Amino acid sequence: MKFFLAGILVTVAVYVWGQNTPFKIATTHLVDNIYVHTSYGLPDGKNVFPSNGLFIITDTGIVLIDTPWGEDQTEQLINILQKKFKKKILLCISTHFHADRTGGIDVLKKYGIKTYCSALTKQLAKQNGDKQPQFTFRIDTTFHVGNTTLQTYYPGEGHTKDNIVIWLPQSKVLFGGCLIKSLEADGAGNTADANMTQWPVSVTRLKKRFDDIKYVIPGHQGWKGDTLMFSHTIAVVKQKA
Catalytic residue positions, numbered: 96, 98, 100, 159, 190
Number of other CB atoms surrounding residue 146 within 10 Å = 16
* Strands 89-93 and 62-65, bridge-based pairing: parallel
CA 240 to chain centre: 23
Distances (CA, A) of 60 to 20, 87, 89, 149, 169: 37, 8, 9, 12, 18
CA 7 to chain centre: 23
Q: With the CA atoms of 98, 104, 108 and 113 taken in that order, what torsion angle do they form, in degrees rounded to the nearest 10?
A: -30
Alpha carbons 35 and 9: distance in angstroms, whole number: 13
Alpha carbons 63 and 65: distance in angstroms, whole number: 7
